[in-house]
Amino acid sequence: MPLPRFSRPRLLPAVAASTGALLTLSVVTTGPMAGLGSSSPRPVNPHFQAVSLSPMPQDAVAGAAKASSLPPQDGAGSTTPSAAPSAGSTSAPSGRTAHAQAAPTIRSGAVSPVQPTRGRLKVVGVTWPQGRLGKADRVEYRTQDNGRWGQWQPMEVSDDHAPDPGTEEARHARGGTDPYVVTGDDVQVRVLSEKASVAPDVRLDVVDPMSSPADSAAVASPGAASAAGARPTIYTRAQWGADESLRKGTPEYGTIKAGFVHHTVDSNSYTSSQVPAIIRGIYAFHVNGRGWSDIGYNFLIDKFGRTWEGRYGGIDQPVIGAHTGGFNSQLFGAAAIGTYSTTTPPTALLNAYSKLLAWKLSLAHVDAAGTVLLDGMTTKVYTVSGHRDASGSINDTECPGNALYAKLPTLRTNAKALQGTMFYGPKASSTSWYYGSAGPTITAKPSTSLTWSLQVNSPCRTETLATVKGSATTTTGINAAWNGKLASGAWAPPGEYDLTLTATTGSGTLVNATPWTTRVRVVGTATSPQGFCPDRVAGTDRYATAVAAAKSANPSARTVVLASGANTGMPDALVSAPLAKARNAALLLTAPTSLPASVSSEITRRKATTALIVGGTGAISSTVQTQLKNLGVTSITRYSGSDRYGTAAAVAKGVGASSPDVMVASGLAMADGLVLSGPAAELRRPILLVNDRGVPASTATALTQLGTERTVVAGGTGVVPDAVLAQLPSPTRVAGANRYATSSALATWARGVMPVSSVLAASGEDAGLVDTLSGGQFGRATLYVTSLRVPADVASWLDGAPDLQKATVLGGSGVVDDLVAGRVQRAVLQ
């Protein structure tokens, strides 16, 4: 059973002198540090020390081996210091008995130097390389206060508070104890082992969480009211002073099937103002000490009834934590700050638990008084369980303490009552089907008799497309069947749909259940119409988006054109699409110094043998060339010049030996030029660049060598002044009042020289322009939109297009919102 972790009775050191290497890590904050003169919550910069342990002399090991472990107790602050027995004493303090468990044969030991804590609240723990220490090894600590050392106390080895095995987070983790809060003058730890020597790189990790005036003035983020399972008041990470630069990676999400109760095994005598510092200390220890991505718990609850946000990622989201090894992806974990082995949990803490459990389980439509079979278990557990209920070799723990564990039935009852009207376990009978067939049936178990409604929506439309209604009892259950048709009676066209199930008691005062939404898909057939959403070409980043574009535009080409995807390389990518079209190649993007994994995989999939690199070695390094060769590319040609203008000229010559018609864009303002790339590629016309001062020599030379007779220039006088325009052969300016209007003006121009029945829609905002880089290989006109609207000039062009048959969106929904995509698609369907 874990022991409480605050100051303990003091003994004289068993090892009078020891040495240890000290590593100090100062955690850098991305925001201002909390300081004096302000009670506003700000990031607080914890101070982290990693202290190496040194081997203990054999006489000290022998003395320590005789000492008896103490029985677990609840933390109630420091006990009265005892008189100092001799080193290696076997006597236990008055009122305590030796630990009943048989002690292992101790053969070696290691001890830390005495670390001063100077009466400040510190969080300490011992860590080691994964697998180097086990349950048979004894890890102990003690503190000194007013010149007197306390008894050595066992530290709980925390293999069960951990990331799920096999995950990326687990691969970077260190083994370790739970974090312990101390407030004495000094702290020291030791490790006693059955082995001939203690494993190397075992260390004491000390966190000073620092202090902030805001610690005593925390103001909670008020809960948002809902009909059932209302969100409780939750103090955010910002309010406990989380330094967000400390956490690593990005949050990962699972599925909540249960809520697990923990305790941190700290002292119960902490004050209200100490809580933020305690959480900061646990956070820094979990990240810097254990090597985890973030604090392990999803939530923490103090004895005053305050609930605190734990792991980053959204309090209403199923964020995967590191608290119940092997099962984190299936549940959320909330830890009571303190030790509840024998101490009765305060009513305020239990009430906070009940509210949190009710709300989080309501969001997942889980019955707070139900049972569930978790993946990896052979028997069901309660949906509100204690950490000890997680069966398996990983989780060998008494957490959350006997006294708190005994309150779990009460928490289940109270949480279920707070959930109110609910339907549990909703699921769809299918998630995809072919056009012209019936849709799925949604089933769920209601908590009481109720009426329900199933609404069908497209992510690209605001209006509800179909509604199914009915009623249910606890006996009949909910069976909401959608026939796959719209309200008009027509079959729902191919695409994704959101099915939302809502329910109400329907008599007296209406009580609404928490809604549930799932996304399904109608699969198209050879004769099905277009859907409410246009096709979308997107990836996880600009490189993956280019891969998706290449797969769609030219899926089997074994020649690739490679341009820089860096912001500084955009001019090179701008002129690359005509080269790709002329050489029957796929256009891909690369990072300057290495091929992204998605691009390498695509080159391998294509079995590409030829690569055309656009830009010098400053844009795409020779390392990339080496990588291409290693992927089987045997022919590599580089098109480059002394600058972007020279590179464009070199590419122009690669497009064709002569070109009476040339497209011209600014080499300084990318937005107008990028919409040229599609028409230029389709017409096999090269793109040359100018600046606001004139026509660079390399551009002028290329115009002459190509025999250019006519030019089409994208952009207004703000990007290509009239004086520059006059230097070009027979120029035609295509421009609008802004980049959006310029894109529609260019689409209008294109209608006179090429088909525009199929167009691209892409973000015209600076942050989204990178997705347009690879769109030119489609050879279509490109219309700019913003992330949240279709500008008036573009909307006018769409609505007035007489021959528009297809639209494709470049980039994900974070760049071009689904409703914006839907507005574009309306013009196709009209």
Strands (DSSP E) contained in 340-440 are 371-372, 381-382, 384-386, 423-428, 432-434
pLDDT tens for residues 219-235?
Answer: 554 444 344 568 999 99
The identity of residue 360, as a single letter, is: K
127/223 same-domain check: no
Q: Which of 173, 193, 211 is the last residue of a domain?
A: 211
> What per-residue confidence (pLDDT) applies to 506?
64
233/123 same-domain check: no
DSSP state at residue 391: -
411/510 same-domain check: no
Q: Concatenate the DSSP letters of all residues of 724-764 into one string.
A: HHTTSSSEEEE--SSHHHHHHHHHHHHHTTS--SEEEEEE-
207/221 same-domain check: no
Q: Which residues pair with 50 in a beta bridge?
A: 23, 205
- Domain holding 282, by residue range, is 214-419
* 2 within a domain of the structure (yes/no): no
Rounded CA separation 119/377 (Å) = 45
Per-residue burial over 370-404, b = 16 or more CB atoms within 10 Å of its CB, e = otherwise? bebebeebeeebbbbbbbbbbeeebbebbbbbebb
Cβ(651)–Cβ(575) under 8 Å?
yes
Rounded CA separation 282/358 (Å) = 26
3-state secondary structure 41-78: CCCCCCEEEEEECEECCHHHHHHHHHCCCCCCCCCCCC
* 8 within a domain of the structure (yes/no): no
Has residue 422 got a pLDDT over 70?
A: yes
Total-model pTM: 0.81
Q: How many helices (H) and strands (E) does the chain have?
A: 20, 41
* 5 within a domain of the structure (yes/no): no
When pLDDT is averaged across residues 643-649 and rounded to a whole number, the result is: 97
pLDDT tens for residues 751-790?
Answer: 999 999 999 999 999 988 988 889 999 999 999 999 999 9
Phi-psi region of 632 (alpha: psi -120 to 50; beta: other; left: phi over 0): left
The identity of residue 112, as a single letter, is: S
When pLDDT is averaged across residues 683-691 and rounded to a whole number, the result is: 97
Q: Which of 495, 523, 551 is the last residue of a domain?
A: 523
91/218 same-domain check: no
Strand 432-434 relative to strand 441-446, pairing: unpaired
Instruction: Round the average pLDDT of the chain to a whole number and report it.
Output: 89
pLDDT tens for residues 804-828?
Answer: 999 999 999 999 999 999 999 999 9
593/519 same-domain check: no
> What per-residue confidence (pLDDT) applies to 763?
96
First to last CA, the chain: 70
Rounded CA separation 544/589 (Å) = 9
Strand 710-714 relative to strand 661-666, pairing: parallel
The H or E element containing residue 16 is none
Angle between the N-to-C axes of helices 792-800 and 818-829, in degrees from 0 to 180, rounded to the nearest 10: 30
Rounded CA separation 572/579 (Å) = 11
Rounded CA separation 708/729 (Å) = 7
Has residue 39 got a pLDDT over 80?
A: no
pLDDT class of 309 with cuts at 50, 70, 90: very high
* 665 within a domain of the structure (yes/no): yes
**The domain that contains 386 carries what CATH number?**
3.40.80.10
Strand 758-763 relative to strand 710-714, pairing: unpaired
Q: Using the structure block, give the residue that is written with the tokens 């687990």.
A: 170
634/751 same-domain check: yes
**The domain that contains 447 carries what CATH number?**
2.60.40.2550
250/171 same-domain check: no
621/716 same-domain check: yes
Contacts of 704 (CB under 8 A, 6+ apart): none
* 15 within a domain of the structure (yes/no): no
pLDDT class of 581 with cuts at 50, 70, 90: very high
- Number of domains, the chain: 4
- Does residue 493 sit in helix, strand or coil? coil
* 187 within a domain of the structure (yes/no): yes
Has residue 98 got a pLDDT over 70?
A: no
> What per-residue confidence (pLDDT) applies to 85?
31
Angle at the Cα of 210 (from 208 to 212), degrees rounded to 5?
165
Q: 32 or 705: which carries more pLDDT confidence?
A: 705
> What token pair was written down for 612?
């055309």
> What per-residue confidence (pLDDT) applies to 580?
97
312/175 same-domain check: no
When pLDDT is averaged across residues 27-39 and rounded to a whole number, the result is: 39
* 486 within a domain of the structure (yes/no): yes
> What per-residue confidence (pLDDT) applies to 380?
95
pLDDT class of 702 with cuts at 50, 70, 90: very high
Q: Which residues pair with 424 in a beta bridge?
A: 445
101/160 same-domain check: yes
CA dist 500 to 426, 453, 465, 520, 690, Å?
11, 8, 12, 11, 53
221/189 same-domain check: no
Has residue 21 got a pLDDT over 80?
A: no
